[in-house]
Amino acid sequence: MNTEKLLDAMNEIEESFKTEALLRNGYLSDAESSVKEISEMNDLSKHLKTTAKKSSKRILTIALAACLVIALAITAYAVGLFTVSHRDPEPGETYSLYWPDNPSGRLVWDKFNYVFEFDGPDECAEIKFKEGWLPFAPDEGVNSWFTDEEGWRTTLISEGAPEVDHTSENFQPYRVDVFYASQFKNDGAMILMYQTPEKIISEQWGEHQVLKFHATQHFDAVDDDDRGIHTPERNLDYYYVILFSPDEGYVIVVCGTSDMETVEHVAKDLQIKKTGNRLSSTDFEQNCVFIDVGQG
């Protein structure tokens, strides 16, 4: 029985039965139950004394509710139920990462624009992916670092369409990276350093929770006197589709400078496979990463 079926079954049971089942199995304290629910349980006690047939049915329903509550808890534990949340940074908030070149051994980020946080079990399923569709073939010389002999990848980078000048605004039409919820344990996060997201749209694509958004980054005017080039002040556009698995805890960030249609097409056509390995926080050097397109 999966989580959806358990939830459907729970929805068919009256709230008073579920409340009593929670109370009897230690999932809810007396202080947490409402006055109305306590009243219903008192009525139940009187009813059990006067109507044996109905009380038997009610006891059976409560027992069923209790079994479902316990089964749901066990299922939730088994599948993990990782979660993702996102927010603006708080005033004075900082993140840091291991940086041996600094005397302190840490590099502190005190200016960033957005935060994605994850919670859940200590281990995630390791995955790799293959692209099903791309607007143009990637440079395999660059991507060989992230690709195994069967073509499964952990990262995929494009550094400009063949017909596009690499210094143009479409300098990285698509990029795909894999992260893990367990990577961000111990107060870590996935952040946007320089780019500011607009409205974040949440969707469900099969087993994946999806976050889609358009982001912008402001650039001041720049004068290159040596080459006689003037770059005017401008805002650049970036597009993101984040695939998140609540069951397995992996996070796939698909982004680019092309347009949302392209980035979404790349994301929807990815093939994903689990390697069989499990990854915990100790498998990662950093518990904080920034995902800005074109940075890094």
- Residue 295 within a domain: no
Q: Is 120 within 8 Å of 82 (Cβ atoms)? A: yes
Q: Read off the pTM.
A: 0.71
Clarify whether residues 61 and 132 are in a common domain. Answer: no
The pLDDT tens digits along the chain (296 residues) read: 444 444 455 555 565 555 555 444 444 444 444 444 445 545 544 554 454 444 455 554 545 555 554 444 444 444 448 999 999 999 999 988 888 888 888 888 888 999 999 999 999 999 999 999 999 988 887 788 899 999 999 999 987 555 554 446 778 889 999 999 999 998 999 999 989 999 999 999 999 999 999 999 888 888 888 888 887 888 889 999 999 999 999 999 999 998 999 999 999 999 999 999 999 999 999 999 999 887 65
| Among the listed residues 185, 289, 296, 195, the one whose alpha carbon sits nearest the alpha carbon of residue 239 | 195
Is 177:296 a contact under the CB 8 Å cutoff?
Answer: no
What does the pLDDT read at residue 171? 80
Helix and strand numbers, DSSP H then E, in the chain: 6, 17
Whether residue 296 lies inside any domain: the answer is: no
Of the three residues 51, 79, 107, the one that is the final residue of a domain is: 79
Q: Where are the alpha helices (DSSP H) in 149-194?
A: none
Q: How many angstroms separate the CA atoms of 198 and 86, rounded?
A: 13
For residues 118 and 172, membership in a common domain is answered with yes
Same domain for 154 and 223, yes or no, is: yes
Structural domain harbouring 11: 3-79
> What is d(CA 201, CA 115) in angstroms, rounded to the nearest whole number?
15
Q: 65 by DSSP, 3-state: which? A: helix
Q: Are residues 109 and 162 in the same domain?
A: yes
Nearest-angstrom CA–CA distance, 94 and 274: 33
The SS3 of residue 177 is strand
Residue 252 in any domain: the answer is: yes
List C-alpha distances in Å: 174 to 58, 72, 180, 234, 266.
58, 40, 20, 21, 8
Q: In terms of domains, do 138 and 272 share one? A: yes
> 3-class DSSP state for residue 261?
helix
Residue 205 belongs to a domain: yes
Name the amino acid, one letter, at 222: V
Please give the structure tokens belonging to residue 127: 């995955």
Q: Which of 28, 52, 79 is the last residue of a domain?
A: 79
Task: Provide the pLDDT for residue 58.
Answer: 55
> What contacts 68, CB < 8 A, 6 or more positions away?
6, 9, 10, 13, 21
Give the residues across from 196 on adjacent strands: 216
* Residues contacting 83, CB < 8 A, separation 6+: 118, 119, 120, 246
The domain boundary residue, chosen from 29, 54, 79: 79
219 and 143 belong to one structural domain: yes
Between CA 117 and CA 213 the distance in angstroms is 16
pLDDT at 19: 56
Our count of domains for the chain comes to 2
Residue 278 shares a structural domain with residue 210: yes
Domain check: are 190 and 216 in the same one? yes
Strands (E), 199-282: 201-205, 208-219, 222-224, 229-231, 234-244, 250-256, 271-279
Residue 210 maps to a domain: yes
What is the gyration radius of the CA atoms in the chain, in angstroms? 25
Q: Which helix (H) or strand (E) holds 95?
A: strand 95-98
Q: Is residue 230 part of a domain?
A: yes
How long, in residues, is the chain? Answer: 296
Residue with tokens 């047939």: 53
In this structure, the answer to whether residues 107 and 219 fall within a common structural domain is: yes
Q: Which residues contact 70 (CB under 8 A, 6 or more apart)?
A: 25
52-79 vs 35-50: helix crossing angle, rounded to 10: 140
- Structure confidence at residue 259 (pLDDT): 93
- Is the same domain home to 159 and 248? yes
Q: Is residue 145 part of a domain?
A: yes
238 lies in a domain? Answer: yes
Yes or no: say if 176 and 270 are a contact pair by the CB < 8 Å rule: yes
Residues 63 and 95 in one domain: no
Considering the domain architecture, whether residues 131 and 213 belong to the same structural domain is answered as yes
Residue 18 is predicted with a pLDDT of 52
CA distance linking residue 130 with residue 138, whole number of Å: 12
